[in-house]
Each structure stands twice: as C-alpha cells, then as structure tokens.
Amino acid sequence: MGVRILNGDCRTVLDPFGGAGTTGLVADRLQRNAVLIELNPDYAEMARGRIVGDSPLFAEVAT
C-alpha cells in the first residue's frame, strides 16, 4: 500500500522492513510520521542518512 493512498486520519506509517528507508522518506515528504524497523545496522544507517539528508531541519530520527 502506498503512503499517499492512506486514509487522511492516518498520520503514522509502520514499515517493519525499513530497508533503505524509502517509506520513511516519502512519509516525511508527505508530512506523516513513520516508524521503520530494520535489523541490519548497515541498512538502518543508510535509511537514517537518506531521511535526514533529505530535510535535515525537519526530520527527527530516533535510534
């Protein structure tokens, strides 16, 4: 399911397979919250870098 087609009341997206962070990146651009879960630390760091790099003043990334 794409982030854009979610119900307007849904403000948080859960991605249990975070990977490179594309879902989080799109959610951030659409002003939604996202929770990404990734077991591989290399992919988790890649996702973190992509999301913060896209909008460093507005993205809040917790570890």
Specify whether the CB–CB gap between 12 and 28 falls below 8 A: no
Q: Is residue 9 part of a domain?
A: yes
pLDDT in tens, 14-59: 999 999 999 998 888 888 889 999 999 999 999 999 988 887 666 6
- Say what the pLDDT of residue 53 is: 87
Asked whether the whole model's pTM tops 0.85, one would answer: no
E strand or H helix at 14 = strand 12-15
In a domain, 60, yes or no: no
Q: What is the pLDDT, as a whole number, of residue 47?
A: 92
Of 13, 14, 60, 17, give the one whose Cα is nearest residue 39.
Answer: 17
If one counts every other C-beta atom within 10 angstroms of the C-beta of residue 37, the result is 10
- For 18-28, write each residue's pLDDT tens digit: 999 999 988 88
The count of structural domains within the chain is 1
Q: Which domain holds residue 33?
A: 3-54
Q: Does any domain span residue 63?
A: no
Query: What is the per-residue pLDDT for 57?
Result: 61
